[in-house]
Amino acid sequence: MHPVLKTVLQRLGLGVLTLFAVSIIIFSSLQMLPGGYAQNILGQGATPETVKNFNHELGLDRPAYVRYVEWIGNAVQGDFGNSYSGTTGTIKRSVSAIIAPRLYNTFFLAAMAAVVAVPLSLLLGVLAALYRNSWYDRIVNSITLTTIAMPEFFIAYLLMFFFAVKHRWFYSLSTVSESTSFWEHVNRATLPALTMTLVIIAHMMRMTRASIINLLASPYIEMAQLKGVSKSQVILRHALPNAWAPIATVIAFNLAYLVVGVVVVEVVYVYPGIGQMMVDAVSSRDMPVVQACALIFAATYILLNLLADIVSITTNPRLLHPK
Amino acid sequence: MSTDTTAPLRNIKARRTTLENIVRNLKTAPVSAWFGMIVILIYAIFAIFAPWLAPHSENEVIGKAYEHGSSLALLGTDQIGRDLYSRLIYGARNTIGIAVITTLVSFLVGGSLGVLAALKRGWLDQGVSRVVDAFLAIPVLIFALMMLAVVGKSVVNLIIILALLDATRVFRLSRAVALNAVVMDYVESAKLRGEGMGWIVFKEIVPNILPPLITEFGLRFCFVFLTISALSFLGVGVQPPTADWGSMVAENKTLITFGNPAPLYPAAAIALLTVAVNFVVDWFLHKTSGLRDGK
């Protein structure tokens, strides 16, 4: 078997295994609830019969492994059960139906930020690496160090204060609905996307700079320079083929970071995405929703890292041209 | 004047004392590191002496809600008329205190497990490492949110959850650096000398892996501090009426649409501290690793 294919398959297997382990962790967290779930929902005054009925209705009286298999089996088909917020009433709300439009909104926002942030930070990072220790490098370095250290909500409120309150250029609250047109959606999501762009540009640029500098310090680059290859050729022919792997890692790491950063930013701008939904569900202890959100966030995080690994493997010159 | 015909011996010291070393290092610190250290010192003073420095107490209502800055309340009042400035000062104590405790616990758990795993290897190392790998695949903020939904919101739960989650990250690093130390000859000779486990860990391994761990402590503190602030901001971390910077931002957030920068003050307080710690850590990294690019 071709070594590339073999390594990719190994990595995929490992990824599936990680997803499995993570789903078990997320599922079993619910079992750790002190006093059982029903007691928490129904209150201290609940009679044993009500608790029993409640548990039976939700299927909580069955053994844990049966429930896990059912939960994960339905989850991979996109069904996360019913939200607890409607159980005491007559209307059952399906978690998937609540999540679907919000998931679209979140991916919309993340994609907006990524489209701007990825090319820009790669460019800035490579420039900083090529002209390292210049004024440009130093200024960019201290600015990014400062931006990284700031909480997302500080940047978010700062932007909101200046661009939405002092100068009314953008919306301070990003209310969008399903009837919002595409460009209106872009317009309303500008400030949250800008906040996330600023946060990840700093990370990405520093990581790009570090990995390019690391690469340029390799002996084969020095060899190429010494034998008189032009500067652009050194970068394009010698450095770039080996740079895809670190660049893919940097991009994936930061997109994964975006997944987490989205939670705070959505809450600041009251953007109806999955992050805000998870926070609401945590406050009301609506466990099916919390678990579904946690699984989606974790799966996105794992898949992005897996993707980066696969890109690194498939572009690795050493693996592509085996001896 | 021939009292000292014999040339005086130069005063040679065997080694510098710790204090001299510290002074020597401080003299070479760059401006950014000095800035960082001074800011951290000021924060520490405010955190420790909060009751004496704050003009009002933590939860005292001194006037109407949402008043602008005046001689009574320097930065104005919050949503129920408490002095923002006093709450900022008490917030230093609460927010930084919780973050420091959390980081200490995570280093105690993660660090000792990491060193032990590196020293013992075998099933202990394998077992803990695999569990940690699974936990590393979930973002901390998401996991913390989920666990807080399960066990309920309280400061103790917050500290335990974040400390344990963070310990997985500390474990990875301390195991990696300890692995390099346990194969050294001095550890081997200590073992042959018949030293006990405690001696080997605390006298041979820990002093040699301390510099990277101290740097990591600074970075982990920043991370924990930001995560706690984010969770409090989201309303699931430190609960009112405790003055805490993250929840203060959330409490006053409506003010910003009226052009009042009140929520920016606590947010800036968080940002300034993490920036300061980062500057110091950056300098420390530069000094201890020598691996940074440039020189």
**Each residue of B137-179: pLDDT tens digit?**
888 888 888 888 888 788 898 999 999 999 999 998 999 888 8
Cis peptide before B241 (omega within 30 of 0): yes
Question: What pLDDT sits at residue B294?
Answer: 37
The CA distance from A172 to B189, in Å, is 66
Cross-chain Cβ contact A154/B264 below 8 Å: yes
The structure tokens listed for B12 are 């040679």
Q: Considering only the top CATH level, what class is A105-286?
A: mainly alpha
Residue B273 burial by Cβ neighbours in a 10 Å radius (0-12, 13-18, 19+): buried
- Structure confidence by residue, pLDDT tens digits, B237-271: 888 788 888 888 888 887 777 777 778 888 888 98
Cross-chain Cβ contact A145/B278 below 8 Å: yes
Contacts of B154 in chain A (CB under 8 A): none
- In the beta sheet, which residues pair with residue B61? B82
The CA distance from A116 to B67, in Å, is 40
A175 Ramachandran zone, left/alpha/beta (phi>0; psi -120 to 50): beta
Cross-chain Cβ contact A260/B142 below 8 Å: yes
- In the beta sheet, which residues pair with residue A82? A94
Residue B253, CA atoms < 13 Å, CB-side half-sphere = 21
Question: What pLDDT sits at residue B40?
Answer: 92
Cross-chain Cβ contact B264/A29 below 8 Å: no
Counted across chains A and B, CB pairs separated by less than 8 A come out at 146
Instruction: Return the sign of the alpha-carbon dihedral for residues B224, B229, B232, B233.
Output: negative
Interface of B with A in 173-212 (CB under 8 A): none
If pLDDT is split at 50, 70 and 90, which confidence band does B292 have?
Answer: very low
- Structure confidence by residue, pLDDT tens digits, A12-29: 888 888 888 888 888 887
Q: Where are the domains of chain A?
A: 105-286
> B147 in contact with A at a CB cutoff of 8 Å?
yes
> What is the pLDDT of chain B when averaged over all its residues?
82
Rounded to a whole number, what is the distance in Å from the CA of B109 to chain A's nearest CA?
A: 20
Contact indicator for B173, B216 with CB cutoff of 8 Å: yes
Instruction: Return the sign of the alpha-carbon dihedral for residues A212, A216, A220, A223.
Output: positive
Q: Which residue of B has its CA nearest to A41?
A: B150
The CA distance from B142 to A256, in Å, is 12
Contact indicator for A148, A203 with CB cutoff of 8 Å: yes
The CA distance from A87 to A241, in Å, is 56
Instruction: Return the sign of the alpha-carbon dihedral for residues B285, B288, B289, B291.
Output: positive
- Structure confidence by residue, pLDDT tens digits, A42-84: 666 677 777 777 777 766 777 777 778 877 887 777 777 777 7
Question: What pLDDT sits at residue B170?
Answer: 92
- In the beta sheet, which residues pair with residue A94? A82
Question: What pLDDT sits at residue A72?
Answer: 81
Q: Which of A32, A165, A264 sits opposite B257 (nearest CB)?
A: A165
Contact indicator for B180, A314 with CB cutoff of 8 Å: no
Question: What pLDDT sits at residue A161?
Answer: 83
If pLDDT is split at 50, 70 and 90, which confidence band does B129 have?
Answer: confident
How many helices (DSSP H) and strands (DSSP E) are in chain B?
13, 0
Question: What pLDDT sits at residue B167?
Answer: 93
For residues B222 and A61, which has the higher predicted lDDT (pLDDT)? B222
Contact indicator for A114, A255 with CB cutoff of 8 Å: yes
If pLDDT is split at 50, 70 and 90, which confidence band does A90 have?
Answer: low
If pLDDT is split at 50, 70 and 90, which confidence band does A91 have?
Answer: low
ipTM of the complex: 0.81
* Distance, C-alpha A82 to centroid of its chain: 25
Distances (CA, A) of B157 to A171, A200, A298, B196, B237: 37, 30, 22, 36, 9
Contact indicator for B283, B30 with CB cutoff of 8 Å: yes
Rounded to a whole number, what is the distance in Å from the CA of B261 to chain A's nearest CA?
A: 7
How many CB atoms sit inside 10 A of residue A318's CB? 9
Contact indicator for B234, A279 with CB cutoff of 8 Å: yes
Cβ-defined contacts of A275-278 (< 8 Å, 24+)? A275/A106, A276/A102, A277/A98, A277/A99, A277/A102, A278/B142, A278/B145
Question: What pLDDT sits at residue A27?
Answer: 84
If pLDDT is split at 50, 70 and 90, which confidence band does B201 have?
Answer: confident
The structure tokens listed for B17 are 């004392």
Q: Which residue of A has its CA nearest to B292?
A: A210
- Using the predicted structure, report yes or no on whether residue A319 has a pLDDT greater than 80: no
Question: What pLDDT sits at residue B1?
Answer: 47
Rounded to a whole number, what is the distance in Å from the CA of B139 to chain A's nearest CA?
A: 7
- Using the predicted structure, report yes or no on whether residue B99 has a pLDDT greater than 90: yes
User: What is the average per-residue pLDDT within A280-300?
Assistant: 85
The CA distance from A206 to A203, in Å, is 5
Question: What pLDDT sits at residue B163?
Answer: 93
Q: Which residue of A has its CA nearest to B275?
A: A149
Contact indicator for A172, A164 with CB cutoff of 8 Å: yes
The CA distance from B21 to B284, in Å, is 14
User: What is the average per-residue pLDDT within A254-266?
Assistant: 84
Least confident of A61-75, A110-124, A255-269: A61-75
Cβ-defined contacts of A225-231 (< 8 Å, 24+)? none
Q: Per 3-state DSSP, what percentage of chain B is helix, strand, and coil (rounded to 5)?
A: 70, 0, 30
- Using the predicted structure, report yes or no on whether residue B286 has a pLDDT greater than 80: no
Ordered by where they begin, the domains of chain B are: 31-288 (1.10.3720.10)
User: What is the average per-residue pLDDT within A37-42?
Assistant: 65
Question: What pLDDT sits at residue B160?
Answer: 92
If pLDDT is split at 50, 70 and 90, which confidence band does A218 have?
Answer: confident
pTM to 2 decimal places: 0.84
Question: What pLDDT sits at residue B291?
Answer: 44
User: What is the average per-residue pLDDT within A148-174?
Assistant: 80
Question: What pLDDT sits at residue A156?
Answer: 86
DSSP letter at B77 equals B
Q: Which amino acid belongs to residue A113? A: A
